Amino acid sequence: MTDRPKQPDPLEVALREASQLVSTQPAKAAQQAQAILKAYPGQPQAALILGVARRVGGNLDGALRVLAPLARAQPGWAAPTYEVGVALGLAGRRKEAAEWLRRAVQLKGDIGDAWRLLAEHLLALGDTAGAEVARANFVARTTHDPRLATAVTALLAGRVTDADELLREHLLQNPTDVVALRLRADVAVRLRRSSIAEQLLAYCLELAPDYAAARYDYAVVLHRLNKTKEALEQVDQLLAVEPGNPAYRSLKAGMLTGLGEHVQADAMHASLVAEHPDNAHFWIRHGHALRMTGKQAEATAAYRRAIGLAPGLGEAYWSLANMKTVHLSDDDILAMRQQVVRSDLSGEDRIQLRFALGKALEDRHQYAESFRHYAEGNRLRKAARAYDPEQVSGMVRRSKALFTGEFFRARQGWGAEAPDPIFIVGLPRSGSTLVEQILASHSAVEGTMELQNVTALAWSLQTRPRSAPVGAYPEALAQADATELRDLGERYIEQTRIYRKTDRPFFIDKLPNNWEHAGFIHLMLPNARIVDVRRDPMGCGFSCYKQHFSAGQDFAYDLRDIGRYYRDYVDLMAHLDAVLPGRIHHVRYEALVEDTDTEVRKLLDYCALPFEDSCLRFYENKRAVHTPSSEQVRSPIFRDALDQWRHFEPWLGPLRDALGAAERPGA
């Protein structure tokens, strides 16, 4: 007796047929799915097919009425959760879509399209960090090239240098892989090689002009390089295709703020929070814009709104703490303590909560616990950065070897003649914003912001083909002739024109780290003024340590690194004073606090500016201020902060040891 062939299960057959019709005949697929559900009430696969068929057919409400209950009834099944996210995204409900898609990838991490859609929604919602992670996961799960997948895995694990090498090798074999080009540009930004990122993204867009994510990154990189006019052109191209895209509008608003176009920028930020009142990231950016223009109460309210929407958002709490004039309450401290121990908190949120807790507890004179939070925040931040203090020390040694008195005498009269810029250099938290505000209160001087143009010009010198090795800065300056140095100076003047909004003859470029380029500044702009603002090294060093910087100060997250950086800084300044006596004017913050009138007059004399009483009433100046000291410089000078660091002296031994002889305030 032979076995009869096994009869196919009628339910399996019906489900398979309905599933095959979804993409081509969604209406018929829906009908068949409904028929199955009539015969088998609650059958989950049939419900999924019905929901997807309705979504494909454009009936989003009908799809969600089926898919959302199914996903809740089957909480461990990724497919309906993913489909709810897809349908919500198509309905324009981005925040909800992102929440469902995030759940889907938690259930099943290899759904490539879920990562892709999650990245798109997070970007539009202003969560650029989350979007980067989602995009990297998408590439890792969809690429068929093992080297590219390994590179993305390394990037997700924070091994940026490894990722860069793997991507470089991949691109040697696949030079037109636009996804890999964009990824390597991202790596270049993380390694502070923005000019390389610019080149990679420009080539990427040549190959794929419609690659919107790459164009967005290109705009961000151009803005980072202070090529804001070109960056705005890229954003406007994106907005021409998607005029309502909130991520593009938010990026443009940030660029307009950077250009000093505060009225237009504030209007854009206000419209974004009005249209997306449940978007915490947009409230934070709105708060930043309000704070810059001195609207402290409105900024505080915006940050509070962000906390209400996203209680774990560390940036909102740090933004409040960083206002200096706001004291976080006991309820705030309790809330932050609860949030900082969450296992699902992002690394960035955890870091900023630590800094905010440190500040809140410092205000309560709980110095030991305050320092523990500062130390943990710094430990986490340093672990996410690739900082090598020897790079700065080596640059200082080479600068001293190159910049001799004979070197400068041989180039006397070179460079552009423009006397317009007043450069303010030093360390962050040294009092440079106060000096900027004093000078910007003079009728002949315009304040701008922390401009990156000198750094970008220095980078351009070290990356072009030369007989000197690539990256040899400042040695490359030895090969620059009179014409080239004049061109560099004129290029600087032209590039910075976009930041000048008045007809005042002088303007301020206050980027503290430009102390590294003081010799270069002298060569290309010999008539520009250079003002070095210096503060007690222990006070300045600890003030850097307890400040969470948005970018650019990687030395500031370790007490020993801070001490060594300060030592290198005073070493180079002392050398330049010896070979260019009188060229740099030094302002001691403590002297400025103790005898403001005398120090302001000395400063104005150095800048060849007549004394104006408005410089002593700098706190009445209503200009926008873009630094963490924006509140302090809107108040008269007070000396209370001079010795605040002494409360933490028991824990600052590594800073004192690293400073060595530079620890003496007169060093």
pLDDT tens digit sequence for 534-585 = 999 999 999 999 999 877 789 999 999 999 999 999 999 999 999 999 999 9
- Distance from C-alpha of 186 to C-alpha of 179, rounded to nearest angstrom: 11
Looking at residue 1, what is its pLDDT? 45
Secondary structure (DSSP) of 592-608: HHHSHHHHHHHHHHHTT
The answer for 506, left when phi > 0, alpha when psi is -120 to 50, beta otherwise, is beta
Which residue numbers in the chain have pLDDT < 50? Answer: 1, 465-470, 626, 629-631, 633-634
The angle subtended at Cα 657 by Cα 653 and Cα 658, nearest 5°, is: 120
pLDDT of 460:
81
Eight-class DSSP state of 617: T
Rounded to whole angstroms, what are the CA distances from 378 to 18, 301, 359, 494, 647? 57, 28, 13, 38, 18
Distance CA 584, CA 192 (A): 28
Classify domain 389-619+630-663 by CATH number: 3.40.50.300
pTM: 0.78
d(CA 241, CA 216): 12
- Two structure tokens written together for 305: 């709104």
Radius of gyration of the chain (CA): 29
Residues 257 and 278: their CA atoms lie apart, in Å, by 23
What's the sign of the alpha-carbon dihedral 281, 283, 284, 290? positive
